[in-house]
Amino acid sequence: MKLPRNVNGPQLVKALGILGYQVTRQKGSHIRVTTQRDGESHEVIPSHSPIKTGTLAGILRHIAAHHRLSVDALLEMLDL
């Protein structure tokens, strides 16, 4: 599946709520989200519009690996 090109930071944070991610803090334009599902995991999401595709790919790869999913399955779940 192809990565979406128009995802912004707040939109991604909202979509990650499906996996139990919650905002733990924000400093400037970076939002830190944390989940306790499948063990504790943190991720920093830039609050940019849109998020650069390389940055988005890295974030999604890390989240998919934590939840033992493929990036394609994660994208379908998040409905971005």
Could you read off the pLDDT of 7-39 as tens digits, one per residue?
999 999 999 999 999 999 999 999 999 999 989
Cis peptide bond N-terminal to 50, omega within 30: yes
The whole-number pLDDT of residue 80 equals 83
Range of the domain at 46: 9-78
* Residue 1 clears pLDDT 90, i.e. is over it: no
- Tell me whether residue 68 is in a domain: yes
To the nearest whole percent, how much of the chain has pLDDT over 70?
100
pLDDT at 2: 87
Report if residue 57 sits inside a domain.
yes
Pairwise pLDDT comparison (80 vs 47), residue with the higher score: 47
Domain assignment of residue 54, yes or no: yes
Q: Could you tell me the CATH number of the domain that includes residue 66?
A: 3.30.920
| Inside any domain, residue 70 | yes
Q: Using alpha carbons, select from 41, 50, 48, 1 the residue that is nearest to residue 21.
A: 41
Determine, yes or no, domain membership for 23: yes
Q: Quote the percentage of the chain above a pLDDT of 90.
A: 92
In a domain, 4, yes or no: no
